[in-house]
Amino acid sequence: MDTSLNVGNTGAKTKDTILIADDMEMNREILAEYFRKDYNILEAGNGVEVVSMLMQHPEVNAVLLDLMMPGMDGIEVLKTMHETGDILHIPVFIVTASNNDQTLAEAYKLGAVDIISKPFTKNFFQNRVANIIELYRNRNEMESIIDDQIERFNKMNRSMIETLASVIEFRDCESGEHVKRISGITKIIMTKVSEMYPEHHMSKQEIDKIALAAILHDVGKISIPDGILNKPGRLTNEEFDIMKLHTVKGCDILESMPRGMMDKDIYDYCYDICRHHHERWDGKGYPDKLSGDDISIWSQVVAVADVYDALISPRVYKKAFDTETAINMIFNGECGTFNPKILQAFKDCLDKIKRETALASL
């Protein structure tokens, strides 16, 4: 097996790299001769070697893959590349004499860009590979540019959200650390919910957005009078009615922001969480008296995170409860009713939540 690279002259344009995978050495040599002039060549005699080489050589620009190989065949290689994500960035050409429609259809389904049937025309094959490599290069470069722009936009979103959260901290001396912990707890519970319940599965990117949006769950407290916000004693019914307005006031603040300042998904999560993080499973929350699954799953998660952190944290009107007491209060219904699925997820990740709250308080 020849695994050496054909390096061009010093100072010349760097050659692209093609990995040729076939269990027949003669077949590999024929293909190598087709492309050796313009490409660096890697060779593999079976699927295991292909996977290994892709890990060792991130510079590979294309794979010419035989389907029938011992051990790990071409279909298994495609499945592995699909799992690792390599198939999204490296074009795979199936080079085969097989006419098994089912197998070829599966290869396409797993991400192969083309089926080159033996015998093949040399010029056609060379041009096809060159064109696809260039297409993938342009696409990969564009994706990299877009990813950089998204990253910068996300940093701007986080900076803006954290700035708004700091305003809450000035108004309410207890909310500064609280909002940071809520973000972390929300991410932990939301990830567990996503893992446990297929109907609520979300990508890591979406969960990150929800956790970021959770920072602004109490932004409406900016509009609540100091005398009520920081009252050391129990609120009167009239004062509590004013306090409950922080949910809708938060939405008013978000609506007043120029559109385009925030990622739309994050804005939508912020808006929903601001308004509905005090709704309850039995419909006895506020402001809209929603119940059950009418409350978004992320607002339900933030509600549990909010109550738990409020219980274990000191407030002007109470001392902090220890974690076990807080947990028992939540599960005994002393803080309202919650979705049993979320309570189970909360219970399953309590150790991680305890570590998160301890670190966030340092």
Instruction: Give the residue numbers marked as catalytic.
Output: 221
Question: Going along the chain, which residue ranges are E strands?
Answer: 16-21, 39-44, 60-65, 92-96, 114-117
C-alpha–C-alpha distance, residues 357 and 301, integer Å = 16
| Token reading at 9 | 């002259």
- In this structure, is the dihedral angle defined by the CA atoms of residues 239, 245, 250 and 253, taken in order, positive or negative? negative
Dihedral-angle region of residue 97 (phi above 0 means left; psi in -120 to 50 means alpha; beta otherwise): alpha
3-state secondary structure (DSSP) of residue 179: helix
Relative orientation angle of helices 264-276 and 122-171, to the nearest 10 degrees: 40
Which DSSP symbol is given to 211? H
Paired tokens of 22: 């076939």
CA distance 244 to 267: 21
Please state the φ and ψ torsions of residue 16, each to the nearest 5 degrees: -70, 165
Token output for 203: 């990508």
Report yes or no: 2 and 43 within 8 Å, Cβ to Cβ: yes
**233 secondary structure, DSSP code:** S
Cα atoms in the 13 Å half-sphere on the side-chain side of 270: 28
Dist. CA 45–CA 41, nearest whole Å: 13
Give CA–CA dist 62/65, Å, rounded.
9
* Rounded distance between C-alpha atoms, residue 117 and residue 153, angstroms: 46
Query: How many whole angstroms separate alpha carbon 111 and alpha carbon 92?
Result: 8
Give the position of tokens 């912020």.
Answer: 270
Any idea which residue has 């769950």 for tokens?
217
